[in-house]
Structure 1
Amino acid sequence: MSLDTLCKELRIGGVHSYIQENYPERPDIEEIFISALEAELEKRKVNRQMRALRQAGFPTMKRFEDLVGENLPEDGKHAVPGLRNLGFISERRNVILIGNAGTGKTHMAISTGVLACEAGYRVLFRTAAGLINEMIEARHENRLTLYLRQFKKIDLLILDELGYVSFDLAAAELLFQLLATRYETMSTIITSNLSFSEWVKVFHDPALTGAILDRITQNAIILNMNGKSYRREKKA
């Protein structure tokens, strides 16, 4: 990378001007500065990645490299390359992983989120129950609008374990409000143990359930993750 490019990247244009004015015949000086600035650029990149990973709120760090591919359901095996390249985020598509417990849904979701953080995307991980509790608390404290506004800055929201805990209708409406703000503008990954036909058990109201499904499934990547327990196979 040239000195000029590095200075622009680091927003220190004065350094480039100083070297050109004071050391026009000293290419060795320029090389020293290039090495130092490349190190600084890499350090800033790593710091941004670490900050993004902390702010994402992952319960644990997962990597695709830790997945044993042959233990995944077929849809999971085929989806890994596409998830790893993160193209669905730039395309503003959702990813929905549906299947029984232990088949690798959360592992795949977190692994995708970790890669997204490292690629410079803003990511947030929440369980469905945890997110609902945060929204209820924000509403009680009269800061729900402010709380929801932050999600407009989140490139990838990971909503884990939808279906493990049932909500009341008021909570379901809050979740609908959140998903509606992200509709066709940002990506969401959802993991669930329930088929779409069973989501009414969570949201109670058929019309509201239908409205949520209409929004999150449009142009979404939907993965059937039913199969043998990945965790049990891994331990065997």
Structure 2
Amino acid sequence: MIGNPGRGKTHMAIGIGLKACAGGKSVLFKNAASLSTELSEAKDNYALGKLEKRIQKVDLLIIDEMGYVSFDRFQSELLFKVIADRSERGSTIVTTNLAFSEWTNLFENTAMVAALVDRLTFRSYVLDMNGDSYRLDHSKNSA
């Protein structure tokens, strides 16, 4: 899901996650920055394999807010591995405020960005949710 802030990407991802849970599917919701930190800490504590297996087992992984923080090379590689391991094996939702062409600002390795986007977009739906902010509209109408 790609769109400006305030367009309901997180809200929709949570709704899809809840519907999946109601249907008996396992769901994991993670903020992109928190996930990269958790992966880095797991690596430092020799628990990365266990965390990666847990992530790979879920039916739906939701990575929220990809685009608000950049990742160093190490974090980029860890995130790439999670997404690559799930490719064609499990469903993944990513919410972002950046077009794919701008993801080179998030990750140091441009070749990896191309591979990451390729894996995320293969057999997927890309929802363009750009437009005016619902929160801003609500604030204007409340005033």
Q: Same fold (TM over 0.5)?
A: yes
In the alignment, structure 1 residue 173 sits paired with structure 2 residue 80 = no
2:129 is aligned with 1:225:
yes
Structure 2 CA distance, aligned partners of 1:110 and 1:234? 20
Calculate the aligned-residue CA RMSD, in Å: 0.8
The total of aligned residue pairs comes to 140
Deviation at 1:204, TM superposition (A): 1.7
Letter in 2 for 1:170: F
Matched-pair contact (CA < 8 Å) for 2:107–2:113: yes
Contact 1:158/1:188 (8 A) holds in 2? yes
Counterpart in the other structure of 2:107: 203
- 1:135 is aligned to 2:39: yes
Could you report, residue by residue, the CA deviation over 1:66-108 in whole angstroms, capped at 9, with x for unpaired residues?
A: xxxxxxxxxxxxxxxxxxxxxxxxxxxxxxx101100111100
C-alpha separation between the residues in 1 aligned to 2:34 and 2:57?
19
- What secondary structure sits across from 1:199 in the alignment? helix
Shift of the alpha carbon at 1:140? 0.2
Q: TM-score scaled to structure 2, two decimals?
A: 0.95
Divergent runs of 4+, >3 A: none
TM-score using structure 1 length: 0.58
Higher helix share: 1
Contact 1:106 1:160 in 2 (8 A): yes
Question: What secondary structure does 1:219 align onto?
Answer: coil
The corresponding residue for 1:13 is: none
- Distance in 2 of aligned mates of 1:204 and 1:102: 27
Q: Percent identity?
A: 49
How many Å separate the matches in 2 of 1:213 and 1:202?
A: 12
Q: Which amino acid aligns with 1:204?
A: E
* Residue identity matched to 2:84: A
> Bigger radius of gyration, 1 or 2?
1
Q: Please state whether the residue corresponding to 1:215 is helix, strand or coil.
A: helix
**Which secondary structure state, in structure 2, belongs to the residue aligned with residue 207 of structure 1?**
helix
Q: Where does structure 2 lack aligned partners over 5 or more consecutive residues?
A: none
Distance 1:171 1:143 in 2: 15
The CA distance in 2 between the partners of 1:133 and 1:220, in whole Å, is: 27
